[in-house]
Amino acid sequence: MTPNQTPKPVLMTMGDPAGIGPEIVVKALMERHALGPCVVVGDWATMQRAQALVSLDHPAAGAWRWVSVETVADTAQLPAACVALVQACAPPNVGWGRVQAAAGQAAAECIRWAANAALAGQAAAIVTAPIHKEALALAGIEHPGHTEYLQALAAQHAGVSVAQLPVRMMLSAPGLKTVLVSIHLSLRDAINALTPEGLAQTIELTHRHFSALGHAPRIAVAGLNPHAGEGGLFGREEIETIGPVVQSAQAKGLNVTGPHAPDTVFMRALQGEFDVVVAMYHDQGLIPVKLLGVEHGVNTTIGLPFVRTSPDHGTAFDLAGTGRASAASLLAAWAAAL
């Protein structure tokens, strides 16, 4: 970028309008001058409602006005007291704190708009506020979450199948990063989904992501079973699947070790022995990250042709409409994206 060029903005989706997403977006925007240009992708009335809610306790939240834009290009040279908002969905007109199909539909439309803009090269990154998976399903969206939906949109844009554009979820907290082999599956299905091909792909995507940031990572691969199978006493996945894949990756020159006992590998990474842990299934990787504090947790989708991050928490319907939700994780996601 030359000195005279305006940096591309970050696109921030409002999330489920019935949850805390709109509120934490407004709170994050209170810090926007430190983090650069941002375009909110959402609904005008929903975001004004959130701004009014936050302004009750934070008068600074009312110190700017929304400016409606139709494209990212329309945001150039906006005055400092303005925040650009794209009306990306039909007005959902939903109440706080409950699962609603209209909320799921609005959230999905905002994701789609932001993804298409990012795929067109118009944005620096996408930062997504939380959505509710049940609301998505009620709206007829076949994808269970952000990760799968963004993968499908990116694959469609590239003219390839979803299988040809593999992605993975990486969760980060201070001192710990973990990448998941499988995402939103039942535990039984996640065990059945552990294949040499899927694990090898996860290790490769992890190596590629960190290498693009400037260094070859030290990757630890967690075992599936207690004590990493204890030599086959508690399961043979480590012997028959995980171990051979790790050895194959080592033969390709990747700095990867394992399978490690899953009850200690995250502690070892936190102590600095590894840069990232490859976890076998959703909760194995998320529990240690969330234990370190959801207020700092960040979810990054690796493998997409654009940068996407999100806070590591959900819609918090019990807090929606109270004004008490924290934007710390969303701010961490914004900073991580940059």
With respect to residue 161, please indicate whether it lies within any of the assigned structural domains: yes
Our count of domains for the chain comes to 2
Q: Is the CB of residue 228 less than 8 Å from the CB of residue 262?
A: yes
Residues 204 and 125 in one domain: no
Q: Which helix (H) or strand (E) holds 13?
A: strand 10-13
With respect to residue 296, please indicate whether it lies within any of the assigned structural domains: no
Residues 38 and 136 in one domain: yes
- Predicted confidence at residue 1, as pLDDT, reads 44
Residues 158 and 198 in one domain: no
What values do phi and psi take at 260, rounded to 5? -100, 150
CATH code of the domain containing 110 = 3.40.718.10
Residues 282 and 331 in one domain: no
With respect to residue 1, please indicate whether it lies within any of the assigned structural domains: no
With respect to residue 104, please indicate whether it lies within any of the assigned structural domains: yes
With respect to residue 297, please indicate whether it lies within any of the assigned structural domains: no
39-57: per-residue pLDDT in tens?
Answer: 999 999 999 999 999 987 7
- Predicted confidence at residue 73, as pLDDT, reads 84
Q: How far apart are CA 304 and CA 328, in angstroms?
A: 25
230-284: per-residue pLDDT in tens?
Answer: 899 999 999 999 999 999 999 999 999 999 999 999 999 999 999 999 999 999 9
- Predicted confidence at residue 240, as pLDDT, reads 96
- Predicted confidence at residue 78, as pLDDT, reads 77
With respect to residue 21, please indicate whether it lies within any of the assigned structural domains: yes
Q: How far apart are CA 19 and CA 158, in angstroms?
A: 32
With respect to residue 122, please indicate whether it lies within any of the assigned structural domains: yes
* Domain coverage including residue 66: 10-165+304-337
With respect to residue 4, please indicate whether it lies within any of the assigned structural domains: no
Residues 281 and 224 in one domain: yes
Residues 106 and 187 in one domain: no
Residues 27 and 111 in one domain: yes
CATH code of the domain containing 244 = 3.40.1010
- Predicted confidence at residue 122, as pLDDT, reads 94
Show the low-confidence residues of the chain (pLDDT under 70). 1-6, 33-34, 62
Which pair of structure tokens corresponds to residue 205?
Answer: 């995507």
Residues 183 and 314 in one domain: no
Q: How far apart are CA 127 and CA 111, in angstroms?
A: 10
Residues 237 and 191 in one domain: yes
Residues 81 and 127 in one domain: yes
Residues 137 and 204 in one domain: no
- Predicted confidence at residue 20, as pLDDT, reads 97
Instruction: Write the DSSP assignment of 132-174 as a string of letters.
Output: -HHHHHHTT--SSSHHHHHHHHHHHHHTS-GGGS--EEEEEET
Residues 266 and 144 in one domain: no
146-162: per-residue pLDDT in tens?
Answer: 999 999 999 999 999 99
Triad 235, 289, 225: Cα angle to 5°: 5
